Structure 1
Amino acid sequence: MFEREDWMLFRNLSTLTQKAGVPQHKLAILAAKELVDNSLDSAKKGQSAAVDLTEIPSGFIVQDLGAGISPDPEVIAKLFSIKRPLLSSKLIRLPARGALGNGLRVVVGTVLASEGSMTVETCGKRFDLYPQDTGETLVETTDSDVNIGTRITVQFGPALAKQKNMLSWSEFAISIADLGTSYGGKTSPWWYDEDAFFELIFSSRVPLEDLLKCFHKVSPKEAKEIADLMPGAISRPEARSLLKTLRDFAPAPKPTTLGKIGDVFPNYGYCNVTGTVEVTGRGLSGEVPYSIDVYAKCSDELEEDSIIMMVNRTIITGEMRLMRQKAHELGIIGSGLRNLFDVGKKKVELIINVCVPYCPIKSDGKDPDLLRFHDPLSKAIKKACSRGRALAPKDESKASQRAVIEHYLEDAIEKASGNGTYRYSLRQLFYAVRPSMLETLGKEPDYNYFSSVITAIEGERGADLPGIYRDSRGTIYHPHTGEEIPLGTLNVERYKRPQYTINSVLFCEKEGLFSILRESGWPERNDCALVSSKGFASRAARDVLDLLGDSDEPIYFYSLHDGDNAGGLIHQSLIEETKARKGRRVHIVNLGIEPWEAVEMGLQVETHREDTAGKRLLPVADYVAAKDDGYWADWLQTKRVELNAMTSPQFISWLDSKFEGLQRKLVPDERVIRQTFNHQSEEAIRQALTAKILKEAGINDLVNAAMQKLQGSIEGLDLTQIVEDGLALNPQHRWDKPLDNRAIQETLKLIAGDSQ
């Protein structure tokens, strides 16, 4: 057996990669990034641009205007030693660059393993560093002209001297450092679970009082008072109690306070999403906020799909692999992600920044585990790509109306709903997005086309837009209950199918025919509900079908339509919706009337187009096109037959003939029948016994006596004032509601007094 201490992995290129988290050809680019990250974190707001990065032969120079490093040679020697214990400020959770505090050891190890050199200049002193194979670093001190901030010069040995693009990660970090807004507050106790907080206290090298001053809303006086109550060595239970105490000072900062880079890259679609994720360990859990910026350039002119992934404005070390699965889905693999993201069919260039005070890591190389951010990433990527497609050059994307609608849709939803406070109609959504469409397209948008695009988007998402409602486009009539329910979105959402009342639904676009069926008692005779829809099958009608089908009871859906091209398409669309919508368990049956059937019956045939030469052919349903080698598809180009061509007796007779051989009346199984009989018998017995008992007890005399007593107790009440006060408190009530509430209160007091 051989023994090797952890620090020894930093002194050889082959093992340093384990600690750095990158392959050997990226060690130089990583070393530059680590030093630049430290400089950017130390810079004051607005000074990040003063972080100067210069490439020199075989290396680089990083200089900043920060607070500088202690000029004590012993401190420098220890800080830039690979053998030292892990020293880090990163246990304090803030949305800052870095995660472990391991960066300087990686830089020193890279210099040592490549046989390079390194100098640090700060506070008027120059320190030439000589890392040793023993793990220690020797230091030679001379004077320097650097009095403000820090200058670090790194030169690599032969093994790393010729690495290309050495400064690319660092230059990108500097370019975005001061863009947008960033968090300027202290750490929050809500950002820690119990394990992390205990480790913070256990590892701290400063007095507890000073540590507590680092927390949000904790003043120096309060920090001292709390610290004075704590013992010298804090146990886990005491740490848990302290964490609870700190949380009492203030609620968790909102995710929006983390800031965002903002919409800063021209020709990139942009999206920012915020939220929180739970972090758990033993005991108390924590809640970590996030702010995610996603930028997407979408174009077939790009060479390939690519991604730049950042955490807190610095490029991650983890390797991200991309691959296309379906045409519009991009697989992103790495840093905890192994998922498909909807990016559209065009090639995409993604830039992503996750701003977060704590992100778990997967290795010493600080490869972040981003799995917990999958859902918000998916949402932001999809939205940014949608906007990216809309911003593509017009000669490539043709600035389609749909692309523009997709680009501005989420903002329009927020505007129409008052940031999610209210429901909104489809037409309100149209007017919310209309100004942007006018500006982008330069022409008046079409509402009907807009409606079709929204319906298509909802179909792709598998759900309605959040908060939208649609006006009534028809009705559903229930036999036996007599209910007639408008098919608007809100009514559909509240709809509950009566149990064991219907076994089928009859759909027809012509409401007038349903009046004939209702008057004749046809729905009750067949236990069949009637659903009408004005024009084409509305979305609300299809939603009702979903609800009707969401039951253990079998349900059959029969469609009636005119014998024309649109009639067949109505039935076909219902079939397609049945396949597309998850959980749909109704069966669609076509009753007609079909053109060949109408002709055989001798119904009146209408001619609606005299000549089709040079005109666009009318679309027909697939089953019609396949009938008799396309004869009826040609017939429908100029002719049609309406259901209204039948007289009322003829229509009912024809419909009854369609139902011959089908189960008309609903008869539940034996279990349901017996349960229903027992319930009805129990209710009949209860009503009979209740009436008998009340009669024997003289209920009427008791009520009259109580009423007289009540009149005496309320004689001094100002009933008009009670009504006015009640309506002022709840203006949505009718005038008699306050009286009802007061009558109940007075009655309960009266009965309670009698019982005593």
Structure 2
Amino acid sequence: MTVDYFTEDGLIKQIGLTKEYWNKVIIKEIIDNALDAIEPLNSKQIYIVQDVSSMGIYDNGNGLSCDTVKSIYDFKFYISQNRVYVTASRGKQGNGLKTIISICFLKKYRLLWHTNEGVILEGTIDPERVKDGEICVEFKEIGITQKRGIEICRYDLHQSSFYKNYVYFYSVCNPDVSFHLDYLGTEFHNPATIKCVDKSQNISLAYYDFDTFKQFITKTQDGNTTYKKFLEEYFGTRIKNKSRIKSKIKDIDFSDQEFINDFLMLKEDQQTKKYTLLKKQLIGLSNVLNTSIEIEDSNSLIGKNDMVIPCIVEFSVRKDTFKGDANRKEADIECYINNSITYNNSWSIGFDGGWYKIGNKSVYARDLDDLLKDMSNFSFVFHIVSPYLKFTDAGKTRIDITCFFNELLEKLNKAIAKENRIFSSDNKRTNNRAVMRDYVTDAFNMASDNGRYAITARQIWYKMREISGVEEKKHTYADFTQEILTEWIDDNPEYEDKVNFSDRGNFFVNGSQNGLGTANVRSFINSIGTSQNIFRCYGGISSNIHIDPDFDLIYKYDKVLYIEKTGFDAIFKAEKIGEKYNMIIVSGQGFSTRAAKMLLYKFQKMGLKLYCLHDLDISGIYILESFGTPNKKFKECIYMEDLGVTLSDVEKYHIEPEKVEIKKEDKKKLNNLSYGYRRFFDAGTFYRRVELNAFTTGQILEMLEDKLSCVNNLPTINLEDSLNIDHKAVRETAFMRIMADKYREQLEKIHIPIDLSSFKGKYTVDMAKKEIPNIEEQLIERYEREIMQKLNIS
């Protein structure tokens, strides 16, 4: 009965929580509703204000209208249609605000609604009529407001720490929301830490059983809506196009086997993406477990009500010595569910009672508090995201995670062991390379959201430092990128396209400059060979046709030049060296990167000849030789021809070598060079070198001309086989030329004044894009009528 909301025993049955929890219920429900209201916004703001006489919670959303507020006081039905959406939500049962009304009535608080019409509305419930089983409400406008939200007068005053805790915990599980607290005039702010994420559209067919899906359709749709339009609105065009049902909602027989099969087919289609939407709700904890909750319907013979519901558990484990905190006896544990707080924190996450091994001890546990409370030198944060969770009480204060607890426990123990390794006896790790190898997979998963996103090597490195304790010193990052990460990519080739090393140089193809990084190289390599040397001729009702040549790469280039330093590539571009010698130019920064070798090896396999232009110094010679020597970074041989600088170039142009201090590593390299190079470089405690910069641009261009002018291996193209003629286009173009010549003088005399005053106003780009085609069409139509009349064309 509706009056059950307005008795203490009845309300306890409705919400499952006794009276001492009701003030917490008020704040949690109002904040959850505010967060739902601002979910789609690009800037999300929550304001909590406590003064001497009232507490208010406001947001920057659209707010509720007076009519909506009045309808909430009708306890015979639910206002929110969201309760039929199966999503990973904060609640969306439609009765949260009704609960607030009931609590305020029983605790004799005044409940004020700050509406989007700018008025403060109060609904007063007659207590005498409630005794008679009736809910009679009198509404009164008591002022004006610029706020959107709820204010509660006479709310029991709490200490500032009470509100600060709420702001802190909600900020953790909603990092894209800014929270503002005004406590008796003292302000506290928790700004958003990440870019806003819209989680309001996280709806998927994969989350539904048949009965729930049927209820969703019938309770939200007008009967005249087509089923395909419904699918498109909620699940997207692709799902709409896959469905075989073309009827209006009112004409569908939901018990028909055709409709059931259609539902099961669409549901299965979305199974592969069932985690995608849930990942929007992750808050960035370091460990992520993708699991599922299986629900079987024993009465369902065809499995239409069986469900495998996706569930993601993210958690962090942090160990500290807490040497200065002698009073700390238990672990610090925080628990969140679907971007909201729990009423009882770690007591809220339960499972089958039993003995479980955690860390290096065994404990009897029925929930996370039992399991972890003795681990006093650890801090834990858990966040569970799922469109379905098994609650064990009416107040949703406790969920049962038995179905995936063993998976979680296994991953949790690994995370604890990892933390213990970090905090070894002296809290330092000596073998950084060994440590990095242990953590590279976890660092990649953290940085890429378990392989969902492409990332940079530097992003993996930051997560590596965060979870391993390795510090960034002189060689650690170079060791990581050049050795550890390269080995890991070789062992995990399926993720190579996800890891992008920064651009270390450029390459020039088809007149455009591209950064020499893994993402650009990978994209370019994937595009090679897509051209077919079919030159498409097209046109239409115009005075000309167009022939688009689609040359394949091998018909435009027969050679590649790799330069060991950037800067000269810009000179070569200005002098059109690439076009002159049919040559792709790749410029690096010293020794070639993995991306550069990937690109050059691809060119080699295509049959292009490769040249290397380098300084005449010890590193330059090793750069040239390194291409032909497989290593951990790249296991293929690349055959390069030495284009210079050579000993003969120095002699020809009378370049005076400079002397530089020889380093210890250079002495070792020098001993491995040929006699001619050793004789040139070795100058006792110094060594000689000649850089490319010692030559004038004219001299370098002359060096290229001497060595490349006689090389030409370009294949030829048979235009007879390649030209694709569009006869309709050619025919229409010929006709328009005849018509233009015939009527040119008459056309030049026709002029219509154009008045664009109706389009006066400021347009956004999107508005202008929509409006301009309409303007074009109107202008053409006016001239069509004028030309037909003046030239007597019908």
Q: TM-score range by the shorter chain?
A: 0.3 to 0.5
TM-score scaled to structure 2, two decimals? Answer: 0.44
